[in-house]
Structure 1
């Protein structure tokens, strides 16, 4: 970490020129192996306004993501799904694990024993994890429907569809027609899901 400026320098054999990477927790400059330190400092000074702008955009993005999901998964929490917000209803159940259903609102069927023994925070975490699993399954169903709809139009057949947690991509398609999608797409409107 550079002490005068708040950035890390990473030297790379593959880098042809200097570039800056701004994330929520750091600023990194990737430079060719032989780039002199003085030239790096000049480059960073010249890009200072751009760096500040990028840091602000990243922070805004982080704030938006944080405010999008509920702080706690409790009764009547609003859950994002397909571009809308839906209420969460929590009901005691004889089941051994939490199950989620959706019909114009989310219902979390929680084992009675969990309701009695877990703290509010532990219960919230368990419901959140169950919702993530449910959302991943919903994303698979929607991906299959969307692929079935568009594959004939483009004369393509997907070999596999995989739903993942990805930090920087919404989706990708490999050379063998393997489709990878970010499960967070299920939170977006259906048109956005189809577009990706």
Structure 2
């Protein structure tokens, strides 16, 4: 069971096999000084197990059998993403994530601290999680961190451009919107999609100015675009960038 692996990937690894009912799973095994066993699936559908020294292969096989439904679910999700032409995020150590247009490496460590930490250090996004956190918990931590970072950025950019344009929103909301990067209500509330935190700051500025200008012109008429152009002459390039790269600013 699993995706067809690339020949190069097959040649680099020693595989172990475990049976779970009628299903036979192959996995690679890496030993380290970590305290818990980790199971991950890479972008090729390769099951990768990391284990402390001294843990028997039979114990690892039992754990894989217990995790069978989770493994099958992740493999199915991976196949679905690839069928749609997308490479899904796996939220694993060493994976690359965008932050303000820059690609950073995710580095995950585990400690005995009860509270998790997420932040940027150099060229990496660091997550220090309590021992026992699974990949779904890591995904949740990263998502919350992205949202909070974007909230701070969005408030700062809105305050800056509000003073320039002369309009001041009554409320700022950070949301996860499926089809919009931002919106402005007739009551003067502005909503922004937190996934913009993955885009370059220039793109964030364009969306902020776009929504602030709707507080002057509540439509997409020539008057509206002339207003946007007066404060952000490069808006056409940024608008085109968003249309071309919307799939890149994806957290799944």
TM over 0.5: yes
Question: Is 1:98 the equivalent of 2:116?
Answer: yes
What is the rounded CA distance, in whole Å, between the counterparts of 1:171 and 1:144 in structure 2? Answer: 14
1:82 paired to 2:108: no
Distance 1:168 1:186 in 2: 16
Provide the secondary structure at the position in 1 that maps to 2:195: helix
Q: Deviations over 1:148-173 (max 9, x none)?
A: 11001111112111111111000011
2:194 to 162, 183, 189: 183
SS in structure 2 opposite 1:76? coil
SS of structure 2 residue aligned to 1:144? helix
Which runs of 5 or more residues in structure 1 are unaligned?
A: 1-58, 116-122
Are the equivalent residues in 2 in contact too, given 1:171–1:180 (CA < 8 A)? yes
Q: Residues 28-107 of structure 1: matches in 2 within 5 Å?
A: 63=85, 66-67=86-87, 70=89, 72-104=90-122, 105-107=124-126
- Deviations along 1:58-91, whole A, 9 cap, x unmatched? x9xx63xx33x53x21221111211121011112
What whole-Å deviation, never above 9, does each CA across 1:2-56 have from its counterpart, x for those lacking one? Answer: xxxxxxxxxxxxxxxxxxxxxxxxxxxxxxxxxxxxxxxxxxxxxxxxxxxxxxx
1:143 and 2:161 are equivalent in the alignment: no
Q: Who is 2:181 aligned against?
A: 170
Q: In the alignment, is the contact (CA less than 8 A) between 1:98 and 1:127 conserved in 2? A: no
CA distance, structure 2, for counterparts of residue 79 and residue 91 of structure 1: 17
What is the distance in 1 between the residues matched to 2:121 and 2:173? Answer: 25
Partner residue in 1 for 2:18: none
CA distance in 2, matches of 1:97, 1:171: 33
Do residues 108 (structure 1) and 119 (structure 2) align? no
Out of 120, 128, 132, the position equivalent to 2:139 is: 128
- 1:92-118 CA deviation, whole Å, 9 max, x = no partner? 223324321113311111102x15xxx
**Counterparts of 2:104 and 2:174, CA distance in 1:** 22
Contact kept, 8 Å, 1:164 with 1:181, in 2: the verdict is yes
CA RMSD of aligned residues (A): 2.0
Aligned residues of 1:92 and 1:111 also touching (Cα < 8 A): yes
Count of aligned residue pairs for this structure pair = 125
Task: Point out where structure 2 has 5 or more consecutive residues left out of the alignment.
Answer: 1-80, 208-252
